[in-house]
């Protein structure tokens, strides 16, 4: 098989004609597919139907320490919810504050609090001339949107299958006092599905930041979100490694049950050192009368413990896996050896990352949209929405059905091929002109 680069101009023109015909056919189908976000499908949400029966008018409404969960109080969460969220993250309950329905809010509030009040007594960031965050790329658009909103300068850090480029991270963190944070999705990263290696996590824990208020924002969003029984990534506990390395306060870890129970009605948590938690609580006392403890109790009564969480995640995986497999099968079959794209094969999480030929991502996403399929906007996986190579595309297989997923993948590879053939032709034309000129 030849790569597109190896095809002659005539072969390319003929291929383009074929692909254009197929694309017109695809447009004619009136597809309506959404692969834009890591959004669970209704079927997946239905797996937690009984979640709603967990508490009813006959239920004991006290937490295990005797607190009436319906009333005010318990800023940091009920003990059993702290324990459960701690287990999901692999940290002790005493390092956990259980929060509201979105870890995004906890992350936003953490940045916002640092802006207005600093970190553990440091100068509030809004009083500084420059604040920078490191952003492993491709990454999660909502992380970048938060830091952009606060005028924080973002620096791209290339991702590898072992995690961010740690040489670059170490150099920037230890050499620049204005670097105050780094966004990490350390397990089944968004969008590549990479899990940081043990060495990477150790290097994180042993960072020597120039800024005392530098923090690792460790968004452990997919801690228990495996796709396969026999291929499960593991991630070392960053909190204990940081403590061992003499950096106990250097990390905030976040997680939620948004993709365990209900995307819109889960519970979230932050884990950190006692000093950090005390710092957070100083603000929380003023910001809330306590998060929704009824929902915390509902979660614990429904999921019970890690065994319950694992059973729930297995049900999710059984539903998600065929969709991932469908996409991967089509990508493998249709694109292998053509030299027009690379893709990841994650063991968990919610995304597959596709790396198109340079300068093709926007065009592919636009082509897909024209034929009825919404993808995450090209560029969204980079700070400021700017993918310097215009090549990364995030595929989110969770929302469509497996059948739709196959259709979607077929359409996707078609668009990749069509845009790529045009790109190769255009490049060659330009090169020809350059040679002539």
Q: Which residues bind its own copies (CB under 8 A)?
A: 37, 39-40, 42, 45, 48-50, 52-53, 55-57, 59, 61, 68-73, 100-102, 104-105, 108-109, 112, 115-117, 124, 126-127, 142, 145-146, 149-150, 258, 262-265, 283, 285-295
CB of residue 81 to its own copies, shortest distance in Å: 13
Q: 45 vs 210, which CB is nearer to its own copies?
A: 45
Q: 77 vs 341, which CB is nearer to its own copies?
A: 77
| Token pair 């034309």: residue | 429
CB of residue 127 to its own copies, shortest distance in Å: 8
34 three-class SS: strand
Q: 115 vs 338, which CB is nearer to its own copies?
A: 115
Q: 135 vs 331, which CB is nearer to its own copies?
A: 135
CB of residue 215 to its own copies, shortest distance in Å: 18
CB of residue 51 to its own copies, shortest distance in Å: 8
Cα separation, 67 vs 48, in Å, equals 26
Q: 59 vs 174, which CB is nearer to its own copies?
A: 59
The two structure tokens encoding residue 131:
């604040």
Cα separation, 328 vs 311, in Å, equals 25
Element containing residue 199 per DSSP (H, E): helix 198-205
Q: What is the dihedral of CA 22, 26, 27, 32, to 10 degrees?
A: -160
CB of residue 239 to its own copies, shortest distance in Å: 25
Phi and psi angles of residue 256, each rounded to the nearest 5 degrees, phi first: -155, 170
408 three-class SS: helix
Cα separation, 54 vs 240, in Å, equals 34
CB of residue 134 to its own copies, shortest distance in Å: 19
CA atoms within 13 A on the CB side of 212: 8
CB of residue 291 to its own copies, shortest distance in Å: 7
CB of residue 44 to its own copies, shortest distance in Å: 9
172 three-class SS: helix
Q: What is the DSSP letter of 111?
A: H
Q: 154 vs 331, which CB is nearer to its own copies?
A: 154
| E strands in 344-403 | 352-356, 373-375, 392-395
Q: 73 vs 432, which CB is nearer to its own copies?
A: 73
Q: 16 vs 301, which CB is nearer to its own copies?
A: 301
CB of residue 50 to its own copies, shortest distance in Å: 5
Cα separation, 384 vs 147, in Å, equals 10
Q: Are strands 268-271 and 341-343 parallel, antiparallel or unpaired?
A: unpaired
CB of residue 175 to its own copies, shortest distance in Å: 28
Q: 4 vs 222, which CB is nearer to its own copies?
A: 222
Nearest-CA neighbor of 138 among 290, 307, 320, 343?
343
| Token pair 């929380």: residue | 284
CA atoms within 13 A on the CB side of 213: 21
Q: What is the DSSP track for 125-170?
A: GGGSS--EEEEEES--HHHHHHHHHTT-EEEEEEEETTEE-HHHHH
Q: 292 vs 325, which CB is nearer to its own copies?
A: 292
């Amino acid at each position: 098989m030849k790569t597109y680069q190896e095809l002659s101009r005539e072969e390319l023109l003929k291929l383009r004609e074929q692909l254009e015909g197929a694309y017109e056919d695809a447009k004619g189908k009136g597809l309506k597919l959404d692969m834009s976000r890591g959004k669970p499908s209704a079927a997946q949400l239905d797996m937690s139907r009984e979640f709603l029966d967990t508490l009813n008018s006959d239920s004991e409404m006290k937490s295990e320490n005797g607190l009436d969960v319906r009333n005010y109080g318990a800023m940091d969460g009920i003990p059993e919810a702290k324990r459960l969220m701690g287990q999901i993250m692999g940290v002790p309950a005493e390092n956990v504050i259980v929060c509201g329905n979105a870890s995004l809010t906890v992350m936003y509030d953490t940045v916002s609090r640092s802006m207005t009040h600093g970190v553990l007594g440091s100068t509030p960031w809004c009083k500084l001339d420059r604040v920078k965050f490191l952003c492993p790329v491709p990454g999660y658009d909502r992380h970048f949107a938060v830091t952009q909103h606060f005028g924080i300068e973002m620096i791209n850090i290339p991702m590898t299958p072992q995690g961010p480029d740690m040489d670059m991270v170490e150099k920037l963190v230890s050499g620049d006092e204005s670097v105050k944070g780094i966004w990490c999705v350390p397990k089944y990263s968004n969008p590549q599905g990479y899990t940081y290696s043990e060495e990477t996590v150790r290097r994180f824990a042993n960072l020597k930041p120039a800024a005392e208020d530098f923090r690792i924002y460790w968004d452990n969003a997919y801690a228990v979100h495996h796709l396969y029984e026999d291929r499960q990534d593991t991630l070392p506990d960053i909190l204990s490694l940081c403590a061992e390395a003499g950096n106990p306060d250097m990390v905030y870890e976040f997680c939620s049950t948004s993709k365990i129970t209900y995307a819109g009605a889960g519970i979230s948590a932050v884990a950190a050192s006692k000093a950090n938690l005390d710092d957070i609580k100083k603000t929380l006392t003023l910001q809330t009368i306590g998060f929704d403890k009824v929902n915390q109790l509902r979660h614990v009564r429904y999921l019970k413990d890690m065994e319950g969480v694992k059973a729930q995640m297995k049900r999710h995986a059984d539903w998600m896996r065929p969709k991932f497999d469908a996409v991967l099968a089509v990508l493998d079959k249709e694109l292998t050896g053509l030299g027009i794209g690379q893709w990841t094969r994650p063991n968990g999480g919610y995304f597959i990352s596709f790396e198109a030929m340079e300068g093709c991502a926007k065009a592919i996403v636009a082509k897909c949209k024209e034929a009825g399929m919404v993808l995450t906007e090209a560029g969204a996986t980079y700070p400021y929405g700017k993918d310097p190579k215009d090549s990364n595309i995030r595929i989110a297989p969770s929302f469509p059905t497996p059948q739709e997923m196959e259709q979607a993948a077929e359409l996707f590879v078609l668009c990749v091929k069509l845009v790529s053939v045009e790109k190769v032709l255009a490049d060659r034309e330009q090169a020809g002109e350059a040679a002539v000129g």
